[in-house]
A and B are shown apart, each in its own frame.
Chain A
Amino acid sequence: MMLPPATLRLRVVENGRRKIALWLPIFLLWPPLLLLIVASLPLILVLALAFWWHPMTRKVVKSIVPVFGAICSLRGFTIDIEDEEDEVFIKIT
């Protein structure tokens, strides 16, 4: 089962000094976001049906699942760039 990312770690070190050090619990965002989507689903469905004639609407509807898949597959994505004094670290888990 594919789950969206749970945490995001971001660390930026500049000239040996830590500029940014974030640990973002993005899993806290998903329940309210889910509720928001469920609440607005009837409106989305009505709008989608009303504008179904437009090719863009079909593209957008078709892209919902792949976009969600792309977000979920970001888990494990890591970027770590460092030299003697600077560092950029991004990790999505």
Chain B
Amino acid sequence: MSDDRSQILNMLKEGKISVSEAEELLDAIGKSSDDSGVVKKGASPPSSRKNPKYLHIKVEEAGKNGGKGENVNIRVPIQLLRAGVKLASVIPDKAKSKVDTALKDKGLNISFDDLEGDKLNELVESLAELSIDIDSEDEKVTIFCE
């Protein structure tokens, strides 16, 4: 946790500031921080980095009659992906083999056991290069890492 963030939270804990004031301050820190990872509307996806922190999924739907369509903006920490793979190590072997078989049936020759250590790092690093843009008349889907 950054010093500023912990200071604000301490001030809130001590009752020096209200919840709404703390929220505003935390927002301000988030906006000023360079690596906050927040996607600003209209901003183009950032250039690829060696170690991405977040996976962004954005769906922008064109609104009917010029109105605002449905927008979806999801930001998933890459660390969650790593944690998920580590959690996979506690999956029972029977269930693991079923998942592996299902993946193979779908044409994905990947095993949970393979996704550890260097291979996982390699996968995460290669995600930095990931950028998917699907542009149609009705909607625009963007998936990228930053």
Interface residues of A (CB under 8 A from B): 3, 6-7, 9, 23, 25, 27-28, 59, 62-63, 65-67, 69-70, 72-84, 93
Q: Is B79 an interface residue (CB 8 A)?
A: yes
Closest to B87 in A: A66
* Distance between Cα atoms of A41 and B100 in the complex (Å): 36
Among A6, A23, A70, the residue within 8 A (CB) of B19 is A23
Secondary structure type dominating chain A contacts = mixed
**A6-B77 in contact given A62-B90, A69-B86, A84-B67 (Cβ < 8 Å):** no
Q: Is B96 an interface residue (CB 8 A)?
A: no
* Distance between Cα atoms of A6 and B69 in the complex (Å): 32
The segment from B5-13, B116-124, B131-139 that touches chain A is: B5-13
Q: Is B54 an interface residue (CB 8 A)?
A: yes
A4 vs chain B, min Cβ distance (A): 10
